[in-house]
Structure 1
């Protein structure tokens, strides 16, 4: 598990470095949307870690004192934090959409294609790793938080069904961000959000494309999760 955490960190740093040094090496302009998308990719992890830290703090204080209301606050922090985390989570995997190399269209000088392939592929993989890491950290949290003495009780069909269902949900969120240009903060305008959503999916071809995108990217994310994090998680619960 520690090794995968290190690999994820290195991939993020390597991808960011390639974006930042690209203008210096090839005298091209910095493509700022990539930097923005990179920042958004790591935000869910900070939200999750911050939520769990605050929740554990209030729970610990509640256990050591007579302020039982802090236990209620602890639970509310966990629930609200996880909802916010889930809303932001598609941003982690959104980096895979950078593989279309649209940033090359705004270049005033020609950058070698091999460099952009390495840079964008690293960026995409870092996003997929961030997604898988978020999910597995949440799973570890449930193991430790709810029943640390009997971790195997979570090794149930329902638990794993919910785990695998996360991936198509994330993929659909990524589709909304890429092809309808929805942002997380658009949820604060629900009427406009629903109107735009209805207009987009009123076309049959659009619905078909969204379905294929959601399923195929969901399978890809699930397989990547299984490849990178499933083995250490399985060792924990066996």
Structure 2
């Protein structure tokens, strides 16, 4: 089994495990089903799905772009980069949904009086959080791999430019999590950038909020980065050894 296939299977199983724990919490302990958690798992999985679909789409469309270039010089490259830009932006808007699950560790679903033991909620919420991190790492890994293939494929190591790309995405993901948690904004609010910027300016204008936002983004980005870098490096080594 390839390293990529094993990674995808592991992430899928982790997501399923989180869903099962959320459902069993309601069934076993007789408490209301916390549907927002199930919705968050679904939203968290979307970046993985999009990354894989867009990656496969690139493989399928590359010969088409080549044929277009043969008929009209340069047109294929224009269509190719338009596809990559559109796909990347669409994926980036959904990417924070994966990292967002870190914030579920606030145990907001747990009431003061509940028959659910604390140990169960700890495992359930931790599984949920880890599934989100796994989705973020896998989807970013796929996108970084596409970046390497399309932009900077020379040499056998991981290009520095792809690390810069990944770092920017991780920081933007942390920013998205902050906007979602504290300003209650969603990915689709990007359709109204003017309103989004006004809300952000009003929020950061409050005393202490700018520093809080900086600390939030920095700590979350560092956490994802510390997990992502070694995992992608190991995956890259496995892919290189398989290709060799």
| Contact 1:4/1:228 (8 A) holds in 2 | no
Name the SS for the 1:152 alignment partner. coil
How many angstroms apart in 1 are the aligned matches of 2:135 and 2:155?
A: 24
Structure 1 CA distance for aligned equivalents of residues 7 and 56 of structure 2: 22
Which shifted more, 113-122 or 73-82? 73-82
Does residue 119 in structure 1 map to residue 124 in structure 2?
A: yes
CA distance in structure 1 between the partners assigned to 2:55 and 2:126 by the alignment: 31
Instruction: State the shift of 1:213 in Å.
Output: 0.7
Q: TM-score if structure 1 supplies the norm length?
A: 0.87
Change (3 A) 1:161 1:234: farther
Q: Could you tell me which runs of 5 or more consecutive residues in structure 2 were left unpaired when the two chains were aligned.
A: none
**How far apart are the structure 2 equivalents of 1:47 and 1:166?**
15
Conserved 8 A contact 2:144-2:165: no
1:56 is aligned, of 54, 59, 63, to 59
Q: Residue 76 of structure 1: CA displacement?
A: 1.9
User: What value does the CA root-mean-square deviation take over the aligned residues?
Assistant: 2.4
User: Normalised by the size of structure 2, how large is the TM-score?
Assistant: 0.85
Question: Is the CA contact (8 Å cut-off) linking 2:178 and 2:217 kept in structure 1?
Answer: yes
Aligned residues: 235
- For structure 1, list consecutive stretches of 5 or more residues without a partner in the other structure: none
Residues 7, 50 of structure 1: CA spacing in aligned structure 2 closer, same or farther, 3 A cutoff?
closer
Deviates more, 1:87-96 or 1:187-196: 187-196
1:144–1:151 Cα contact (<8 Å) kept: no
The whole-number CA distance in structure 1 between the counterparts of 2:156 and 2:230 is: 21
Match of 2:86 among 80, 86, 91: 80
